[in-house]
Amino acid sequence: MFDLILHAIPIFVICLVLEAASFYFLPDDDERGYEFRDTATSLTMGLGNVVINIGWKLAVLAVLAGAFLITPLHLPADNPLTWLALFVADDVAYYWYHRTHHTIRLLWASHVVHHSSQQYNLSTALRQTWTPFTSLPYWIPLALLGFEPWMILLQQSISLLYQFFIHTERVGKLWRPIELVMNTPSHHRVHHGSNQAYLDRNYGGILIVWDRLFGTFAGEDEQVRFGLTKNIDTFNPMRVATHEYTAIWRDVRGAANWRDRVGHVVKGPGWAPTAQ
């Protein structure tokens, strides 16, 4: 099975080197740049994600193939309109996947890895989860709509490839029509901000129109503070991968009743039971 992301790894490496060199030769006091330990952690998380996905993507392919086999809908892969429809459908699926992974704590435990760095550069894009298993349900509907599984996986890879390049401080705001429609470095910096005004904003993958449509858009105004509202301050990859699961387990064990236990799992990050 062709994996676009695996084949793009040399491009990622070249771009990382070039961006790091740009910070060295053209430093900017307002930009964080690179920090060796942070970058090493991000690269380790990325490599771990690649290894885990070697097996997990086979399971994903099997489930999508099963859904495609039972649906009466089969869209022609040789029709450009099918690919256009897939682009839109995949981007909508990604928006809701991304949004719920910020608003449901158990899902956030997987996604928080990507937000755990206090730096913001191309290496941050590679800081990926080691528990990618919660993403599958969001793309099963695409197979049921008649898109072939290999097409879905390819479009997912195209989206991830695009998103790699928007993890940078080196690019300011772009031409206004582009900023209106596309997810850009400026929009995604907002998404990675821990500023109160930037929390839970700009979930889009390639397009930013879904955020504008569903009321989750925010433009980049004040200086972005990258990282979490409560940073974990560790470069240990295992702790980065598991810290929120550990916190959920601690809160569930300490909860006074089953309602609060469920709340700690399905409510948003930072939720706490109200005093009785």
Can you spell out the DSSP letters for 162-203? HHHTT--SS-----HHHHHHB--HHHHHHHTB-SGGGTT---
Contact (CB, 8 A) for 234 and 240: yes
pLDDT at 274: 80
Dist CA 242 CA 130 (whole Å): 9
d(CA 228, CA 226): 7
User: According to the model, what pLDDT value does residue 3 have?
Assistant: 79
Q: What is the pLDDT along the chain (276 residues), one digit of tens a residue?
A: 567 888 899 999 999 999 999 999 999 988 999 999 999 999 999 999 999 999 999 999 999 999 999 999 999 999 999 999 999 999 999 999 999 999 999 999 999 999 999 999 999 999 999 999 999 999 999 999 999 999 999 999 999 999 999 999 999 999 999 999 999 999 999 999 999 999 999 999 999 999 999 999 999 999 999 999 999 999 999 999 999 999 999 999 999 899 999 999 999 999 988 855
